[in-house]
Amino acid sequence: MRRSPRPAGPTQFERTSPYFDAAASPEKPRWLLVDVKALRKTRLLSLAELRATPALADLLVLKKGSRLSITPVSDEHWHLIVDGLLAVPRA
């Protein structure tokens, strides 16, 4: 996956926006826009498959209350998933 950073999300500064954030300023935005482009199609990975991988035991998305859309993934975990789990066809 290729990520390209974008400027601050403009709606955080717009008072009429449902995404307005009074703590955000153009100098110190609270969130940024990011374009994501898939470089290849992969198979689906289930949470059960991730949980069954001991090296991913501390992956944040597997912790109770985590949301995939906002959960960071370390480089170590990313490479383990992409180069390990996704490289092996599902049985």
Per-residue pLDDT of the chain (91 residues; tens, 9 = 90+): 455 456 888 899 999 999 999 999 988 999 888 777 888 888 888 889 999 999 999 999 898 888 777 788 899 998 898 888 887 666 5
pTM to 2 decimal places = 0.56
Output the pLDDT for position 91. Answer: 58
Dist. CA 74–CA 77, nearest whole Å: 5
* Residues sharing a CB contact under 8 Å with residue 4, sequence separation 6 or more, in sequence order: 34, 35, 37
DSSP 8-37: E-GGGG-TTSTT--TT--SSS-S-EEEEEE
Output the pLDDT for position 8. Answer: 85
Phi, psi (degrees; rounded to nearest 5) at 59: -65, 125
